Amino acid sequence: MIKGNFFNSSPAKPRVLVAPLDWGLGHATRCIPIILTLIEQGCEVIIAADGPVKNLLQKEFAQVEFLPLRGYDIAYSRKKSWFGIKILSQFPKIFLRIRAENKWLKKAVGQYKIDAVISDNRPGLSHPAIPCIYITHQLLIKTGYRFTEWIAQKIHYHFINKYSSCWVPDWQGKNNLAGALSHPLRLPQIPVTYIGPLSRFKNSRADTKYDCCFLLSGPEPQRTIFENIVLKELETIQLKAVVIRGLPEETVVPVSQKTGVEILNHLPATALEKCLLQSKLIIARSGYSTIMDMVKLQKKSVLIPTPGQTEQEYLAAYLQNKKIFYSVGQQGISLEEVLKNVQRFPFSSFNTTDGAANETIKNFAEMLFMAKGQGI
């Protein structure tokens, strides 16, 4: 059930604002199937983003209207031990951005005649007069300490409860991907729907081209540190590999000096899916959107969490324990050793036929049309 019954007197199509968080590109990529389904259902989508997130989504949706919405511009530590402190020190800036984006939304709803909002982890994009959906897989924010986790959840729920409904991109039961992150002991007060994993991919088939695909992602400086480690390790072993740097804004492509190694800055969704399917093994960060994509494609993968990022460290350990992915730490990594261990690892698979997410989005679109006095 969605709160809010006021709709703008906009044109025939409901106008839905979609706004992903800018901490890496994962929030943007998992919004791709949401945007596609909304458009297929006849909604008019407006995307609020800037920087790399805007650049990535513009490559996928050239005809969609974009509104500039400043990101959080979070700075990350180079050292694992300082990661949490670095994030904590930026809380005042985060709260200011949340307040600013809420003021921005109040103006945008009237100016652009927006009928509904789908916010992927942007806490300030709620509006009391229209349906506003909050998407998150982190109903519990892992910090490593129970007290700080309780405080973080209390703050997070304060903002979530201002929304109409919360969509969790995971399965509801024990057969899930995010463990305690998406299945806390206490849920928000608003309706919570487990919509199943979100992936931009379709899981087709392709002939093998690469031994390994390195999928780089995440915030700086750790993305660059990871890239340098990967390229150095590739010099020590003979592989037919592709390195996708995760830099949609970069125009200069470095040339590998190693025979058999291809380097790409970025690939749009269709080309990326083909590249992943052509690879025997994927090595990537343990960001949740990456995890959902790999499960969708049923690819054997090695997860290397961003050092100090407790969410990724938890997910990597949780999914290795369930035998879904193999995981290894970044420090002192040996690619040769990783490949040997992968050969012995008993990978299990997930059933990915559940179409709950698509149905949830379709039902949401139908509700919007009905509220405007129309049917789809």
pLDDT (tens place) for every residue of the chain, 376 residues total: 334 334 444 457 999 999 999 888 899 999 999 999 999 999 999 999 999 999 999 999 999 999 999 987 665 555 555 555 555 666 777 889 999 999 999 999 999 999 999 999 999 999 999 999 999 999 998 877 788 889 889 999 999 999 999 999 999 988 899 999 999 999 999 999 999 999 999 878 889 999 999 999 887 888 999 999 999 999 999 999 999 999 988 888 888 888 899 999 999 999 999 999 999 999 999 999 999 999 999 999 999 999 888 899 999 999 999 999 999 999 889 999 999 999 999 999 776 666 789 999 999 999 999 988 765 5
Three-class DSSP category at 12? coil
Looking at residue 3, what is its pLDDT?
40
Looking at residue 144, what is its pLDDT?
75
Looking at residue 243, what is its pLDDT?
97
Q: Say whether 210-344 and 15-196+355-371 share the same fold.
A: yes
Looking at residue 256, what is its pLDDT?
85
Query: Residue 134 forms beta bridges with which residues?
Result: 119, 166
Domain ranges within the chain, ordered by starting residue = 15-196+355-371, 210-344
Residues 6+ apart with CB under 8 A from 111: none
Least Cα distance to 86 among 205, 219, 183 occurs for 219
DSSP category for residue 218 = S
Could you tell me the sign of the dihedral formed by the alpha carbons of 153, 319, 285, 201, in that order?
Answer: negative
| Strands 261-264 and 241-244, sheet pairing | parallel
Residues 6+ apart with CB under 8 A from 268: 59, 60
Looking at residue 81, what is its pLDDT?
53
Supply φ then ψ for residue 262, to 5 degrees: -110, 135
pTM, entire model: 0.90
Is the separation of the CB atoms in 100 and 124 below 8 Å?
Answer: yes
Looking at residue 85, what is its pLDDT?
59
Least Cα distance to 156 among 139, 173, 132, 174 occurs for 139
User: Which residue bears the tokens 């509801």?
Assistant: 172
- Helix H or strand E segment including 228: helix 222-234
Looking at residue 143, what is its pLDDT?
79
Looking at residue 204, what is its pLDDT?
80
Hey, what are 343's tokens? 């050969």
* Virtual torsion, Cα 59, 60, 66, 72, nearest 10 deg: -80
Question: Where in the chain does DSSP place strands (E)?
Answer: 15-20, 44-48, 65-67, 116-120, 132-135, 165-168, 192-194, 210-215, 241-244, 261-264, 279-284, 301-303, 326-327
Q: Which fold is adopted by the domain 210-344?
A: Rossmann fold (3.40.50)
Hey, what are 219's tokens? 């915030």
Instruction: Tell me the CATH number for domain 15-196+355-371.
Output: 3.40.50.2000
> Rounded to 5, what percent of the chain is helix, strand, coil?
40, 15, 45
